Amino acid sequence: MEPVLIGTRLASSAVAPLVKRLFVTEGPGADLVDAPVRLSGYVSFTGEKRTLSERDLRKLAGVLVHRAQQCDERPAPADEEQAVVDAVTRTLHALGDLDLTDVEAVQLGHEALAARLSAASGRPERHLSADAAYFHERLVTTACLHVLNFFTQRSAFIAATLVAQSRAQAALIARVDELIARTPLPGSRDVVFEARYREYIVHKHGRITIYGIDLHHSPDRWPLDAAYLSLEATGEHREDTAVGPAGDTAEPPPVAGGYQMPAENALTDHDRVLLRGVAGSGKTTLVQWLALTAARDGDRIPYVLPLRTLVRGPGLPAPGRFLEAVNCPHAAPEGWAERVLAAGRAVVLVDGIDEIPESDRGRTREWLRDLVAGYPAGNQWLVTTRPSAVRDDWLGDERFRELTLSPMREPEVRSFVHRWHRAAEAAGYEEPLLHALRTEPDLARLATNPLMCGLICALHRDRKGFLPLGRKSLYDAALTMLLSRRDRERAMGAPDGIELAEEPQIQLLQRLAYWLVRNGRSEMERARAEDVVARALPAVPSAAAQGDGPAVFRHLLLRSGLLLEPSPGAVVFVHRTFQEYLAARAAVEAWDVGVLLSHADDTAWEDVIRMAVAHARPRERAELLSLLTAHHSVRVRLLALSCLEHATELAPEVRAEVESRAAELIPPRDVEAARVLAEAGPLVLAYLPGPEGLTDDEARAVVVTASRIGTDLAIPVLARFREHASWQVRGQLAWVWHRFDTEFYGREVIAHLPYDDLYLVAHSPAELAALRGMGGRPWVQLEGDFEAEDLRAYLDPGQLTRLDVRGSLSDVEVLGDFPLLETLHFSGWRVGGPSLAPLAALPRLRVLRLAGPHTLLALLLDPASLGVLGQVTTLYLYELLSDDDLELLPRVFPALETLHVFVADGHEPHVDPGFVSRTFPAVTVHVSTQRSTDRKHD
């Protein structure tokens, strides 16, 4: 048990000064000795050096007890407080009687030392009640923790011989301080309120809508536990400076520059994340999942802050107004939100940067900056947006890591389809739909996010196994299903006295959608919505004959299935995709081509313009595309290219002009241009050249473009580059295997890659197995979580010479099974993590690269590692080092010849080259800066 859990709420700032007075300020052990010292040589209340009387000792014990009693629930009865003081005094006095040296005390540990003191003092706590005796035990244990910390700081002998215990002691004190700060007092108003608030979060965010399941007498909301589908998020490594062909002592070996993780783990290793995702990709569902799990786990407090709701207020809220701003019905204790954030216990989930007007995004960023600056320690922050709504590194100055929700791959699609049909009790339609998704490329291209998968499942069942092709046709069919067939199949009749056909409903809904888009909003006041409907009614006589604006709007809200009222007085579309589709229809009917063109460079209008091209008649479509093609913006010309996918009928000369202007952007010149080009979608694949006639940079940019599009249609394009001379091009091909079908991509690309200067990357055991099926490779990189048995089953001990582990490994001892290993890179070596000792069994190991929090501290705290890595001559470390750290390195690596230290961009290296040359002249030290722009794979 931690020494400060029940009753004893004493941080180091309260205990340390009191404990320090128990010991002499000079004399034996005061940084002078090189041998152990008896405890009696330290204490200040006995012997020749006495500066503290027994009466003073009693006063110190009284202060210690009094401070520990300052909490809502007294740890000991008030009438026993003096008895506890007496017992603590007697127990601490026994410090001068123990026949222990400082070294033996530190090795003993704080809890065993407390027990030894109790025994030496005659167990004075035996005369106390059970509660008071336990309080005494915790107090003495806490004091002993700080006593041992005092020893490790005072004695040069201990500092040199017991580094592990010294640092572990300090780490434990830090954890105790953190525990005290983070834990509300039992019985306090905060604890009572938090229990109620967690129940509210579970109720509010524990269910989601699965589109289409709400037909045929099924519920329209489902438990998030049953419906949540884990998706992948991708990001970019920030720690590597070079990924070229590797000499053992010059540059690091080539490694992939990105990584992938389950999206729900986004906050596991980094506490600030900006998450990008396209419409319908599951951003809001992920926010709900994170809020739900935080509420259930009980360690952190979630705040779900949809920006479309927050910007309606007079100003973005301070923490004290978080709950009020989102209409939480529970009132928190005064200052509660500030206390949660100050203690580092919050999960702040800010959803939908793209759902607020562009003019509001600047002040939103300043609001976020102020919050993070005001509460910098311990809290977790997640901000979501569509990919193009804000620039790269929009919150980079605040150390936000950027992740992107990946499109659903075939396994995720299969899982979603299975869960959907199980929930909808429509098992007979599952296999035919899966067959269609495998054999119809146009359909498979649409099924890349949960929203579209849900619509496809619903339409497939609704149409008895027949599906329309193309995005517009799918939306048309979805609207028919929701607006025309839903109530009829439920036998609802007209419960509110209003019955509207499909077309009148669409006319009214598209007016609402167009108002929202033109005003840069995703949410509107109900009164405004009623007014928009009222003004549209004269043009829709079949609706006007059945009621006024408020009545007809209420019918749309309750029966259309497309509108929601997330809070009283606020109205939104169930998903923004429907809003954009209907707004585009309204813009085309009014032929507001000037409005569309004026917003063509606004990322919030991209899908509206694509759908406008789909809705337009041929002559209108040609006019709109011609105007877009003549635009000065690269993004708009690429937008015109992406619109061709939706242009079912178009004059050949207009199509040729669009393609010709887009060709000016192809091939992309660099990675940034490749990213922009990839946003145009699969249509770009037909225009990507090479590899003949391209420079190495252009070839790599083309590969980046095709790989970011992420459909299997890109594989033939990528296969053209599989024997390229540049390892950077081939490295990109190796890195993106996980974005495609494992077998198909492995057969067409991976199996043909020359690999004498390249790591081949496996993101899963399936890819590792496929790699073994190709004959194995000598250089392998593992991304993600792997079991030791995966390595034993799929890596060849007679072949593997270089291994790069970029995730967790269930048992590090498995590395000893690969005696030919010469180079090993292991990320995430942490305090308390695996020992380096198994690496001693690798006789050829010469190059070791270690990255992760507290890497060096992990080595020095592991006695089994000391001196066993005598074969390693080159070491790469990715962290700041002090001279003290460097001085201890030869104890772990006695044969070290070259040390590469990488420090983060913007940090001063904590390495003195003069000190290095004097301390161990045989070791050459290189200090380099790692920059965020240095990643090599995209």
What sign for the dihedral angle of Cα 352, 356, 360, 361? positive
Q: Which of 585, 573, 574 is nearest to 610 (CA)?
A: 585
Give the strand pairing for 258-262 and 802-806: unpaired
Long-range interactions of 882-885: CB distance < 8 A, separation 24+: 882/910, 883/910, 883/911, 883/912, 883/915, 883/919, 885/856, 885/860
Length of the chain: 938
Would you say 294 and 307 are in contact if contact means Cβ atoms under 8 Å apart? no
Beta bridge partners of 347: 302, 380
Task: In whole angstroms, give the CA distance from residue 222 to residue 206.
Answer: 8
pLDDT reported for residue 218:
47
b vs e for 399-436, b when ≥16 Cβ sit within 10 Å of the residue's Cβ?
ebbbbbbbbbbbebbeebbebbbebbebeebbeebbeb
Neighbours of 469 (CB within 10 A): 11
pLDDT tens-place string over residues 323-332: 999 889 999 9
* Of 565, 517, 511, 519, the residue nearest 543 (C-alpha): 511
**Cα distance between the two ends of the chain:** 46
Is 244 buried (19+), middle (13-18) or exposed (0-12) by CB count in 10 A? middle
Question: What gap in Å lies between CA 245 and CA 251, rounded to an integer?
Answer: 8
State the amino acid at position 763 in one-letter form.
H
Residue type, 277: G
Measure the CA–CA gap between 782 and 259, rounded to whole angstroms. 10
| CB distance 625 to 650 below 8 Å | yes
Partnered with residue 571 across adjacent β-strands are: 524
User: Which residues, in sequence order, are CB contacts of 405 under 8 Å at separation 6+?
Assistant: 231, 232, 233, 263, 275, 276, 277, 278, 281, 282, 283, 286
Sequence letter at residue 517 = V
Around Cβ 492, how many Cβ atoms within 10 Å? 12
Question: What tokens does 351 get?
Answer: 């959803």
Q: Specify whether the CB–CB gap between 370 and 315 falls below 8 A.
A: no
3-state DSSP assignment of residue 695: coil
Q: Where are the beta strands (DSSP E) in 33-140?
A: none
- What are the distances in angstroms from CA 39 to CA 36, 117, 480? 9, 12, 85
What pLDDT sits at residue 752? Answer: 92
Give residue 246's pLDDT: 34
- Given a cut of 50, the residues of the chain with pLDDT beneath it are 1-8, 26-34, 72, 156-160, 164, 186-187, 212-219, 238-257, 487, 489-493, 830-832, 853-854, 861, 931-935
The SS3 call for residue 902 is strand
3-state secondary structure of 151: helix
Dihedral over Cα of 197, 203, 206, 207: its sign: negative
Residue 597, pLDDT score: 93
**Residue range 409-443, pLDDT digits in tens:** 888 888 888 888 887 778 888 999 998 887 776 57
Reading across the β-sheet that carries 924-930, which strands appear in turn? 760-762, 779-783, 802-806, 823-827, 847-851, 874-878, 898-904, 924-930
DSSP H stretches of helix in 630-695: 634-643, 652-663, 671-678
Burial of 73 (0-12, 13-18, 19+ CB in 10 A): exposed
DSSP-derived 3-state class of residue 234: strand
Query: Tokens representing 562?
Result: 């497309």
Q: Please name the residues in contact with 290: beta carbons below 8 A apart, sequence gap of 6 or more.
A: 264, 267, 302, 347, 349, 382
Report the distance separating Cα 233 and Cα 893, nearest Å: 37
Gap between the Cα atoms of 549 and 532, Å rounded: 8
Hey, what are 357's tokens?
């007007």
In this structure, the strands spanning 898-904 and 924-930 are: parallel
Residue 756's SS3 state is coil
How far is 799 from 114, CA to CA, in rounded Å? 54
Match 């809220």 to its residue by tokens: 317
Q: Report the C-alpha gap between 859 and 676 in whole angstroms.
A: 43
The pLDDT score that the predictor gives to residue 33 is 43
Crossing angle of helices 54-68/130-154, nearest 10°? 110
| Helical H segments across 501-575, by residue range | 502-518, 526-536, 541-544, 549-559
The pLDDT value given to residue 882? 60
CB 299 within 8 A of CB 355: no
- Model pTM score: 0.48
Say how far apart CA 529 and CA 516 lie, in whole Å.
10
- Contact indicator for 329, 167 with CB cutoff of 8 Å: no
Q: Residue 569: its pLDDT value, please?
A: 84
Joined together, the tokens standing for residue 725 give 């001379």
C-beta of residue 901 within 8 angstroms of C-beta of residue 929: no
- In angstroms, the CA 345 to CA 544 distance is 53
How many distinct helices (H) and strands (E) make up the chain?
Answer: 41, 20
Question: b/e map of 828-863 (b: 16 or more CB within 10 Å)?
Answer: bbebebbbbbbbbebeebbbbbbbbebbbbbbbbbe
